[in-house]
Every structure is written in structure tokens, then in C-alpha cells.
Amino acid sequence: MSRAPRALGVLAAITALATAGVSARPAAATDIDSLRARAQAVADEVSSLEHRLADLESRQIRLQAKIEDAGAEISSYESDRVAAESAYRESMEEYVADAVEVYKAGDPSTNLALVLSARDVNDIELFSKITTDSADQARASLAQSQQRFEDASTAQDEIDRRKQDLLEKQQEVDALTEEIRASLADRRDALGELQKKVERLEAAARAAAVASSVNPTGAFAAALSPTGPTSEIPEGLAATGVTFEGTASWYGPGFEGNYTANGDVFDSSLFTAASKVLPLPSYLFVTHEGRSVVVLVNDRGPYVGDRILDLSHAAAEAIGISGLGWIEAEILVRS
């Protein structure tokens, strides 16, 4: 006989040879479903809070940048104010010096006392009749410096008000950010506790499923009744003549308590198998080096290399396979 796997034929023909009796997946426990729903709701809250926190932190960065820009503008206008004030003093000193010279020259129209008491360019215009070129130039410089000083002061005050508004907004955002962080930490803690509870209940459910699968009942128990080590096809099953061969492996550790593709609880002590192509459930008469076992195919696999069958640990042990083994198999049907 060839050592390469034989084709199984048209899938419809194989399906016709498959037996009936699919057991239903046990319903999940209500308390687990409730906890999962609560955990999902809290997870959604956590996600929403994380988005809000990210938005607030971005807003904090933007506000800080605006505050720094406003501070830089205030400093710039302060420099303008200082420069304008300095220029104003210099122009005033030049104008007073010119007035003194005119007064010394004996110009009766110049009231030196009034000129010296002038507070700004408006007073000078009012008190002084000096009309020399240097005086005219000094008055123009005074007016320009004073206007520059006033403009810088006005702009500085406006930017300072804007900065204060930004600082108030920053305080509000900082307070809200801390509130969101506290809420997020609380929700994360709650989610962690719920996840632990779900894991404990799931572990308990798996343990209960494994315990119950040792003595399966109902349709699954009926389906398993003809399986096990045997030297010939047991009563209740009939050969079909449809055979194939190839490499088989086995599985067990890590799968206990999981559901098979057919909805049964996997138990490595039962005589079951996984196939990539056979209809579920199906029966096989599997032989390896002169030893045979009848298995119920109720799962999908294997998905490694060219393996054609994954036997439960019990089934593999029954025919002497401890790792990989070449098997011959025949599809059986209920008789």
C-alpha cells in the first residue's frame, strides 16, 4: 500500500457516510455572561476616559504654548515701553536745554519756569513759544516717543488680560484633567477586579466541564458508546470501505475543558479525534502497527504539516502512538 495519503473522494459521498447526532454546546453561565457584560461596559468607560484624558493633555500643551507666547509678547512690549520712555526723556532733556539757551538769550516770550514744570508734550505746546528748529524737532520726537509709549502700554495691557484668561482656562483644564485621571484610575481598578472575577468563574466553569465530561451524558454519551480500543468493528457500526492513511498526531494538554468544533467538551481520556475534512461527527476505525481503536471525530485539525488526524491522548495511547505515527483509517457508519 502506498505510504502517501489517499484522496477521500467527493465530499458529498463522505457526508452521506457520516452519522447523525451532534451534541449542543452547553450554554454559558448567566453569572459569567453578566460579569463579562459589566467588564465590557467598564472597559468602554476606560476607553472613553483615556480619549478624554488624551484630549485634555493636548489642550494643556496648547494652552501652555499660548501662555508662553503671550509672556514673550508682554516682554517684547515692555522693551518697547522702556525704549520709548528713554527716548522721551532724551527728547525732553534736549527741549529743556534749548529752552534754557533761548531764555539766556533774553527772549521775553519764553517762560522758563513753565517749561521746566511741563509734564508731557501737551504742556510744552501750551507753555512754550519756542520756535527754533531744534525745539521743533525735539517737540516732534517727544510726541512720537509718547505715542510709542502709549501704544506699547495699551498692547501690553491687552496681552496681559489675554494671558490672564489663558491662565484661568489652564487652571480649569488642569482641575478637569486631575479629575479624569482619578476617575480613570478608579475605572481601571474596577476593570481589573472584574477581569479577575471573570477569569475565576471561567476557570471554575472549565473545571466543572472537565469533571462532567469524564462521565458524559445525553447525545454525547450515546455518540461515544461504540468508541474505544478494539480488534474489530464493534456492533452498531458498519464498514464503508472508504479508507485513507497518513501521519497522525495527538493532542490533550492545554485543551482540557475547551469546546470542540462539534460543541462537545474536550476530554483527552475519551476516544475522539480531529480532522480537517471529515463531517462532524464521524466514526473512524484507526489502525497503527496492528492495534486498532474506534474514535469519534468531533473536532477540527491538525493544522501542522501534512498530518491528517489528531487523536485524543487516550486514542493515541490505545494504538501505541506517543508522538507521530502512520495510521490507516476506515470511515464507519451506524448500522
E strand intervals along 193-302: 228-229, 237-251, 272-274, 282-288, 291-299
Q: Above 70 in pLDDT, residue 12?
A: no
Average confidence (pLDDT) over 115-139: 54
DSSP labels for 75-132?
A: HHHHHHHHHHHHHHHHHHHHHHHHHHHHHHTT-TT--HHHHHH--SHHHHHHH-----
Is residue 324 classed as helix, strand or coil in its secondary structure? coil
Core vs surface per residue 185-210: b (16+ CB within 10 A) or e = eebbebbeebeebbeebbeebeeebb
Give the integer Cα–Cα distance in Å for 245 and 317: 18
Cell matching residue 35: 460579569
Average confidence (pLDDT) over 114-121: 53
Give per-residue pLDDT as tens, 147-173. 888 888 888 888 888 889 999 999 999
Q: Please say whether the beta carbons of 286 and 239 come within 8 A.
A: no
For the chain, what is the mean pLDDT?
80
124: confidence class by pLDDT, cuts 50, 70, 90: low
pLDDT of residue 180: 93
* Start-to-end C-alpha separation, the chain: 28
Neighbours of 252 (CB within 10 A): 17
DSSP β-ladder status, 228-229 and 291-299:
antiparallel
Q: Please say whether the beta carbons of 150 and 142 come within 8 A.
A: no
Q: Tell me which of 105-119, 202-216, 278-292 is least confident.
A: 105-119
| Signed CA dihedral, 227, 228, 234, 239: sign only | positive
pLDDT of residue 140: 73
Residue type at position 100: V
Give per-residue pLDDT as tens, 177-225. 999 999 999 999 999 999 888 888 877 776 666 665 556 778 888 999 9
Give per-residue pLDDT as tens, 251-279. 987 788 788 999 888 988 899 999 999 99
Q: Choose between 331 and 136: higher pLDDT.
A: 331
User: Could you tell me the fold of the domain covering 34-196?
Assistant: Helix Hairpins (1.10.287)
Q: Choose between 15 and 321: higher pLDDT.
A: 321
Report percent pLDDT > 70 for the chain: 73
CATH of domain 220-334: 2.40.40.10
Q: Where along the chain do its domains lie?
A: 34-196, 220-334
pLDDT of residue 82: 84
Average confidence (pLDDT) over 15-34: 50
Core vs surface per residue 256-294: b (16+ CB within 10 A) or e = bbeebebbbbbbbebbbbbbeebbbbbbbbbbbeeebbb
Cell matching residue 310: 489528531
Q: Above 70 in pLDDT, residue 335?
A: yes
Give per-residue pLDDT as tens, 57-95. 999 999 999 999 988 888 888 888 788 778 777 776 776
Distances (CA, A) of 304 to 84, 216, 271: 85, 30, 21
Q: Taking the complete model, does pTM exceed 0.85, yes or no?
A: no
pLDDT of residue 34: 85
Query: Shortest CA distance to 309 belongs to which of 242, 223, 245?
Result: 245
Give the integer Cα–Cα distance in Å for 45 and 57: 18
pLDDT of residue 96: 66
Give the integer Cα–Cα distance in Å for 328 and 248: 9
